[in-house]
Amino acid sequence: MRLILGKGTVNHIKSILGPTRKCYTTSSANTVFVEDLNFVPPTDSATSDDIQRLQDFVHASKRLLVITGAGLSTESGLPDYRSVKSPPQAGKDRPVIGPVMYQDFVKNTHVRRGNWARNYVGWPGFSSHRPNVSHRALVQWERRGKLHWLVTQNVDDLHRKAGSKKMTELHGSAFRAACLSCKHVVPRSELQQVISDMNPHWDAVPFEIRPDADVALTPEQIEGFRAPHCGKCGGPLKPDMVYFGECVPRDTVQLVFDKLEESDSVLVAGSSLHVYSAYRFVSAAHKQNKPVAILNIGPTRADKLAGLKINSRCGEVLTKLEI
């Protein structure tokens, strides 16, 4: 959230922020960026030594490749799948809702209908989230020639909203939908009214928000919902993001490997690298003797491959680096 205020108001805003809100000001002290930390796990602040070592790492790099994950966007108020503070998948009076598997979505019309019902309910809130200080910092790195390429595992469009241009959306984007039959792509924003017109008498209040525009609904709430279809061929539509059990397109993987080859070092920000789709690039960088640094809350799959690991929030650390 970005607020332009007078100095007196800035001090007032700082004084009333709750424990899950963080406030940053610009150098002119008249602009306040408010970060929502509700889904950010508790962690210690980075030490001055940590920040200096990362500063030296970034300074030494001339063609830096940055890989980002959900931990970068939790500071914009979005939950992730693996954080200890993510919404629970089950509990008293809550439906059991986990990530949708690709094969289930493709083969099962009931799974598709439920997925689209939850996506329809979750879309207004999900699409309204704004970039945080980390997204904006990486845009400045790109504009100043420090960042050679950005690879994001996130499907929330926040890097693009912030202004990033040199980037690959490794897992696609929730802001598009694609036909499983003819591959026609449509902006997700256009579908919201289409779905609303298809379901004039259907409505549901979610139990909780889930990652990637998903929410928790009971089977009873989903009853009567009609899923959208392709406007060109009538085939089933799917959010244009890589589902669990689905492979990243080969041309996307090759593009990232090409960008890694052009780069001289890799920084991972906000990712546990639990899934192989992103881990393989860090593994390849290590085999190529390229320096690797990781900034993430909690352990990652590639900790043993990194010359530097900082256990802290991205927003706290990246805003302190000078480029």
What is the identity of the amino acid at 278? A
Quote the tokens at residue 248: 């990243």
* Contact yes or no for 138/164 (Cβ under 8 A): yes
Any alpha helices (H) in the chain, and if so which ranges?
Answer: 7-16, 48-60, 70-73, 102-107, 109-127, 133-143, 158-162, 188-198, 219-222, 250-262, 276-287, 314-318
Both ends of the chain: CA-CA distance in Å? 24
Which among 155, 161, 163, 171 is positioned nearest to 130, based on CA atoms? 161
Catalytic residue among 135, 148, 159, 171: 171
Using CA atoms, how far apart are residues 237 and 231, in angstroms rounded to an integer? 9
Reading the block at residue 77, the tokens are 């108020």
Amino acid identity, position 298: G
Annotation says 171 is catalytic: yes
DSSP 121-172: HHHHHHHT----HHHHHHHHHHHTT-EEEEEE---S-HHHHHT--SEEETTE
Cα distance between residue 162 and residue 74, in whole Å: 15
Q: How far is CA 271 from the centre of its chain?
A: 10
Distance between CA atoms of residues 313 and 296, nearest Å: 7
Task: In whole angstroms, give the CA distance from residue 196 to residue 149.
Answer: 38
**Residue 29 contacts residue 7 (beta carbons within 8 Å):** yes
DSSP tag of 318:
H
Q: Which residues are catalytic, by number?
A: 171
